Amino acid sequence: MVTSSATDAARAAARVEDLVKRYGSGQATVTALDGVSMQVPQGSFSAVMGPSGSGKSTLMQCMAGLDSVDSGRAWIGDQEITALPDRQLTRLRRDRIGFVFQSFNLLPVLSAAGNITLPLDIAGRDADRDWLTTVVDAVGLADRLTHRPSELSGGQQQRVAIARALVSRPEILFADEPTGNLDSRASAEVLDLLRRCVGEFGQTVVMVTHDPVAASYSQRVVFLADGRIVGTLDRPTPAAVLDRMRALGEPAGPGEE
Amino acid sequence: MFKATVRGMLAHRVRLALTALAIALGTGFMAASFIFTATLTHSLDSLFSQGASGTDVVVQHFAPAGAGLGAGSAGSRPVSASLIGAIRAVPGVAAADGVVSGRAVLLGKDGKPLGTNFGVALSWPPDAPFQASFTRRSGAPPAGPGQVMIDRASAAKGGYAVGDQIHIAIGGQARAFTLTGTAGYGSADSIGGGSMAIFDTATAQRLFGLTGQYISIEVKASTGVTATQLRDRVARVLPAGVQAVTAASAAASQAQQLNNQLGFLRYFFAGFAGVSLLVGAFVIWNTFSIMVGQRVRELALLRTLGARRGQVFRGVLAEAALLGVAASVLGALLGVLLAKALQALLSAYGLSLPATGLVLPPTAIAGSLAAGIAITVIAAVPPAWRATGVAPVQALRDAVPRAAAFSGRRLAAGLIVAVAGASLVLAGLFGGAPLLVTAAGAVTCFVGVTVLGPLLAKPLASVVGLPLTVLPGRTGALARGNAMRNPKRTSATAAALMIGLALIVAVAVLVGSAKELISGQIRADAKTSFYVQATNADAGITPALASVLAAVPGVREVTAVQSTDATVAGSAHQSVDGVDPALIADFTSLGLRAGSIASLASGELLVSQATASSHHWRVGDVVTIGFGSYGRSRLRIGGIFGTVGPLSAYLVSYATFSTDSGIRTDSVDLVRAPRAARRALLHALAGYPGAQLLDQAGYAKSRAAILSTILNLIIALLALAVIIALLGIVNTLALSVVERTRELGMLRAIGMRRSQLGLMIAAESVIIAVIGAALGTMLGLGLGAALAVALTRSQGVTVAVPAGQIGLYVVAAALAGLLAAIAPARRAARMNMLAAIAAE
């Protein structure tokens, strides 16, 4: 299934150049991103880490077209998104990007199956049956499809959310603290699933996290502090990530954000 | 605690404003109705006293108690003109003039009536003191036959100037006069919106068949003689049956009489204001319920920090009380504006009254304020009670309100209340209980259905939402799911709309049935093919017209019917007809049940089966009929008829009628002629622009016209209740949007367009509105059918459901739902997506 030739790997699924994002005005101005440039290679699993207020969530939101930037440029594939009007941006998110949120954000009125196919329904497209089966099997929820979110555990809900993100075969999947609301066992399941998406489907994944264990599931960690990239770490281990975080002057650990 | 309440309220200004508006509208309506009726009473008082300003004593025929005073055309019995000499000879009398009055319709230059309001004819008093009633605006008073003075408003409307020729229809027949001048009545340009034609006394006497007679005699006292002294002196020279009253007390009793009629108007308006407040109460209840639900964490935190249940309860009620005070004060101000608008509306319709400022009755306004505050606080009691049930531990739990499970207790309670309400309605309609019991029953029914609401809402939302699932992007399906997820909220929101719609549908069914009854009765009387009646209500047609019509080629037979408003067996405003006993059976089948038609000829009375059974009358019973100052007649019932046809429920002979009532015009001529005679009839009527030719359908329509007007008025008044219910929908949706911030943000993030988001909220709104409309329609059909059966059962049960009209109301409700969604949908679309996702 995976055909990661050298040229494919070299092409970026997402790219940003000199991103600057400020909040507030006058004396109260906070610079969340201060000239960030990075590339996300296709088929890669990247983690963005940093202490609270380092700008990691802002970076993801700007990369994914959820938020505007003050200067700099951002691309999804070859499409520059920085100046895109809302309508096209919405369509881009719908068709080319998948999202997984910390608090699952499933619709309580829909069953698991309804939540999974929601992006297709919104777009008015039919589901590709085979792909849907593949996705549902991958997240291991074939026997839970008729359940409402309130009848599922946190881990199961997050797996539904991942299936929802995968169902439209996005070019890139953004996960914002996907394990923030989960216990360690459920976290491991979700992270393993994300890794398998990369391995088995060639899915590009960008994950924002503050958990060194979570970050260690990725292929490459980008460290952010005060709105700037302060380093990267390939093939991370929890211990190595923790060391880097300590060096950034902030003890990383669960329950901080 | 109180400080926290105020802070909390100020933090949600929009929600506060919407909720306040829901109550303010009801309070405002109530205040406006009181202010308006008080102002109207005051205006009429001053109108009458202005009119009587030049007169001290009025001499007229005495109206015995129970005879009823002539609000309709029932007669003021004339006094002999010869009395005037005796009165002028009384010491202390400075002047005395006879007054002649009647009905006259001013015609425009196109030969058609100038307006549809009433038109009076008066005589110009020869003596100066009495001319003070009229304020001369231009030209000179009429002097001699062929001269007339008219009110300034009509002159302006018709474009008439002094010296012009003007046609005036008297008894329907056009006559030409020369306009000598224009006048006002007191400070107004017209007399209460009607037109005024003033002739000299002799001309008026001749025109109205009152030669040698006056309707009344006005007397002015010499200096130093009081009105009471003069009254007592004049009374001594009067024959039996003729009385002298002071002008002040005559004006007061006229004003009093109108006041009694306005009293009805006051209760009428207050009833609708009550409906608006009731609907407002639903909105308050629902808003507070949602707020308590959303604030579970906050309330639990307060409890964790040591707040007692009582404090939580009082906190919520304090919020309601503050809101109630603010909303009611706003409502009272709104009421003043509304009353001013009503006044402006009336004068735009030509009903110009003497210019007086608004009268603000303090007790009525205080009452409206109290009602508004009380309703708000009472409506907030159930949610406040629920708030006390919040356990401290809930501070740590998810705050999303959960859908209520099916509850057998709710089902039982709802059914019991609904059935109790229905029984009260039926008891009120059929058991002889007062009408208030019916109203209480209807309200109880609403409460019962509201209790059942949460059980009904889910299946109803499912059914109503089904067609919407075809909407693209799953928006319809999501809206349906959202409407179903919180049945309590959906049903409470819909319930407010339900009340308004139930009443509208009930009134539509009732009026539709009454119309059907009328036209059915006229259709049943197939023998009459044409009807000729006055264009302007109660202006009457001249008795001469019947023979004119009878002479038209092709016409087989014509009979004239007289009609008046009379007091029958103590109940006022009953319509009594005078018919020709020999001919009437040729025109209507009557369906005689007992007695004989011939008994009419011997001065007996025929009554309809319906009135006979409601009064338990039988042939041979004696009934008292009061015809204004003509006094009371005691008539024996000579027959009971089943088919009312084009006639009234009480029939006397034409001869009895003329002598007893003093009516000198006919109300309608019944014509038997082939259809082809229409053209010839119209030709014959060319000289009678005040009369119109109608076929059966047209006559039925004209008899039912007042019903259509009433229906439109009631619907206009109930529209306010619907608007308040819509505010409730806006409120619920806005609160739901806030509650679902995270979901909406997620939907935007994964690619739902703003327009789709708006469509989803609009669809949910339409579902709620249609649920309310559907429940309201069902209740309204039941209530309307019960009312219609009660009204028509004695004349053959008629229940007509104006399906098209009701369908229109439901569609209008759905569209209104769409309207209600605009603001919340915009709010949702504008919502910051990132904040939405981050919101915890």
pLDDT of residue B6: 63
* Closest-CA distance of chain B to residue A186, Å: 20
Mutate to test the interface with A, among B750, B754, B757, B759 (most CBs of A within 10 A): B750
**A243 is a domain residue:** yes
pLDDT at position B406 over 80: no
pLDDT of residue B2: 57
In chain B, which residues have their Cβ closer than 8 Å to the Cβ of A118?
474, 747, 750
Angle, to 10 degrees, between the axis of helix B247-294 and the axis of helix B435-465? 40
* Closest-CA distance of chain B to residue A123, Å: 6
- The count of domains in chain B is 4
Q: Which of B246, B265, B283 is the last residue of a domain?
A: B246
- B675/B571 same-domain check: yes
- B157/B290 same-domain check: no
Compute the count of residue pairs across chains A and B with CB atoms less than 8 Å apart.
74
Going by pLDDT thresholds of 50, 70 and 90, the confidence category of residue A76 is very high
**A208 is a domain residue:** yes
Report CB contact under 8 Å: B481, A110: yes
Q: Which of B667, B686, B704 is the last residue of a domain?
A: B704
Q: What is the mean pLDDT of chain B?
A: 84
pLDDT at position A233 over 70: yes
pLDDT of residue B10: 62
Question: In B187-333, which ranges are E strands?
Answer: 195-200, 213-214, 216-221, 242-246
- B224/B99 same-domain check: yes
Report CB contact under 8 Å: B482, A109: yes
* Closest-CA distance of chain A to residue B468, Å: 14
pLDDT of residue A44: 94
- B67/B205 same-domain check: yes
For residues B298 and B394, what is the distance between their CA atoms, to the nearest angstrom? Answer: 9
pLDDT of residue A68: 86
Report CB contact under 8 Å: B752, A108: no
In chain B, which residues have their Cβ closer than 8 Å to the Cβ of A126?
none
With CA atoms as reference, the chain A residue closest to B479 would be A109
pLDDT of residue B585: 86
Going by pLDDT thresholds of 50, 70 and 90, the confidence category of residue A4 is very low
**A71 is a domain residue:** yes
Is A88 in CB contact (< 8 Å) with chain B? no
**B409 is a domain residue:** no
CB of B388 within 8 A of CB of B309? yes
**A159 is a domain residue:** no
Decide the pairing of beta strands B165-170 and B216-221.
unpaired
* Closest-CA distance of chain B to residue A43, Å: 21
Is A110 in CB contact (< 8 Å) with chain B? yes
pTM, entire model: 0.78
Report CB contact under 8 Å: A61, B834: yes
Nearest to B193 by CA among B154, B251, B160, B155: B154
With CA atoms as reference, the chain B residue closest to A89 would be B751
Question: Which of A61, A91, A121 faces B474 most closely, judged by CB atoms?
Answer: A121
In chain B, which residues have their Cβ closer than 8 Å to the Cβ of A103?
742, 840
Name the more confident of B7 and B418: B418
* Closest-CA distance of chain B to residue A254, Å: 17
CA distances, B559 to each of A9, A230, B658, B701 (Å): 105, 109, 15, 21
The token pair at A79 is 């499409």
pLDDT of residue B3: 62
Is A111 in CB contact (< 8 Å) with chain B? no
Report CB contact under 8 Å: B750, A118: yes
- The torsion defined by the Cα of B380, B383, B389 and B394, in degrees rounded to 10, comes to -120
Going by pLDDT thresholds of 50, 70 and 90, the confidence category of residue B73 is very low
pLDDT at position A108 over 90: no
Residue B73 CB contacts under 8 Å (≥ 6 apart), including other chains: B103, B538, B540, B564, B565, B663, B665
CA distances, B717 to each of A100, A152, B276, B426, B491 (Å): 53, 51, 9, 25, 24
CB of A97 within 8 A of CB of A77? no
pLDDT at position B64 over 70: no
Tens of pLDDT, residue by residue over B429-447, are 887 777 788 888 888 998 8
**B782 is a domain residue:** yes
**A53 is a domain residue:** yes
Measured in residues, chain A has a length of 257
The token pair at B128 is 């100066």
Question: Which of B482, B749, B752 faces A99 most closely, judged by CB atoms?
Answer: B749
pLDDT at position B457 over 70: yes
Name the more confident of A40 and B277: A40
Does the structure's ipTM exceed the value 0.90?
no
* Closest-CA distance of chain B to residue A235, Å: 30
Mean pLDDT, range B200-205, rounded to an integer: 93
**B422 is a domain residue:** no
Residue B772 CB contacts under 8 Å (≥ 6 apart), including other chains: B493, B494, B495, B496, B497, B498, B501, B725, B813
Going by pLDDT thresholds of 50, 70 and 90, the confidence category of residue B778 is very high
**A63 is a domain residue:** yes
* Closest-CA distance of chain B to residue A107, Å: 6
Flag the least confident range among A28-37, B460-469, B711-720: B711-720
Is A107 in CB contact (< 8 Å) with chain B? yes
Report CB contact under 8 Å: A118, B484: no
**B326 is a domain residue:** yes
Measured in residues, chain B has a length of 840
* Closest-CA distance of chain B to residue A6, Å: 31
In chain B, which residues have their Cβ closer than 8 Å to the Cβ of A67?
834
**B421 is a domain residue:** no
Residue B654 CB contacts under 8 Å (≥ 6 apart), including other chains: B560, B562, B578, B579, B580, B581
Mean pLDDT, range B416-426, rounded to an integer: 90
CB of B754 within 8 A of CB of A86? yes
Going by pLDDT thresholds of 50, 70 and 90, the confidence category of residue B89 is very high
Going by pLDDT thresholds of 50, 70 and 90, the confidence category of residue A252 is very low
Is A66 in CB contact (< 8 Å) with chain B? yes
For residues B120 and B152, what is the distance between their CA atoms, to the nearest angstrom? Answer: 14
CATH of the domain at A36: 3.40.50.300
pLDDT at position B37 over 90: no
For residues A91 and A113, what is the distance between their CA atoms, to the nearest angstrom? Answer: 22
In chain A, which residues have their Cβ closer than 8 Å to the Cβ of B474?
118, 121-122
pLDDT at position B69 over 50: no
Report CB contact under 8 Å: A94, B749: no
pLDDT of residue B271: 83
**B532 is a domain residue:** yes
- B187/B65 same-domain check: yes
- B322/B368 same-domain check: yes
CA distances, B648 to each of B515, B563, B771 (Å): 15, 8, 43
CB of B179 within 8 A of CB of B142? no
- B693/B657 same-domain check: yes
The token pair at B255 is 């004003």
Name the more confident of B256 and B246: B246
Report CB contact under 8 Å: B477, A121: yes
Is A118 in CB contact (< 8 Å) with chain B? yes
The token pair at A69 is 């930037």
For residues B604 and A137, what is the distance between their CA atoms, to the nearest angstrom? Answer: 96
Domain range for B332 is: 1-51+247-401
**What are the two backbone dihedrals, phi and then psi, of residue B66, each rounded to the nearest 5 degrees?**
85, -5
pLDDT of residue A91: 87
Nearest to A230 by CA among A59, A110, A75, A63: A59
Tens of pLDDT, residue by residue over B138-187, are 999 999 899 999 999 899 989 999 999 999 998 888 999 999 999 987 77
The token pair at B324 is 């109630």
Query: B interface toward A at CB cutoff 8 Å?
Result: 400, 472-474, 477-478, 481-482, 484-485, 742-743, 745-754, 756, 833-834, 837, 840
Flag the least confident range among A220-229, A232-241, B149-158, B256-265: B256-265
- B370/B253 same-domain check: yes
Report CB contact under 8 Å: A108, B400: yes
Name the more confident of B444 and B793: B444
* Closest-CA distance of chain B to residue A109, Å: 5
The token pair at B282 is 């639903």
**A9 is a domain residue:** no
For residues B674 and B553, what is the distance between their CA atoms, to the nearest angstrom? Answer: 10
pLDDT of residue B408: 83
Report CB contact under 8 Å: A91, B833: no
**A149 is a domain residue:** no
- B148/B178 same-domain check: yes
With CA atoms as reference, the chain B residue closest to A165 would be B750
Helices (H), B619-695: 654-661, 678-684
pLDDT at position A250 over 60: no
For residues B42 and B244, what is the distance between their CA atoms, to the nearest angstrom? Answer: 26
Going by pLDDT thresholds of 50, 70 and 90, the confidence category of residue A47 is very high
Is A52 in CB contact (< 8 Å) with chain B? no
pLDDT at position A5 over 50: no
Domain range for A78 is: 25-104+171-247
For residues B16 and B308, what is the distance between their CA atoms, to the nearest angstrom? Answer: 26
pLDDT of residue B67: 46
Tens of pLDDT, residue by residue over B818-831, are 998 988 888 888 87
- B4/B116 same-domain check: no
pLDDT of residue A10: 52
Flag the least confident range among A163-167, B569-573, B697-701: B569-573
- The count of domains in chain A is 1
pLDDT of residue B636: 93
- B565/B614 same-domain check: yes
DSSP assignments along B691-704, one per residue:
EEEE-HHHHHHHHH
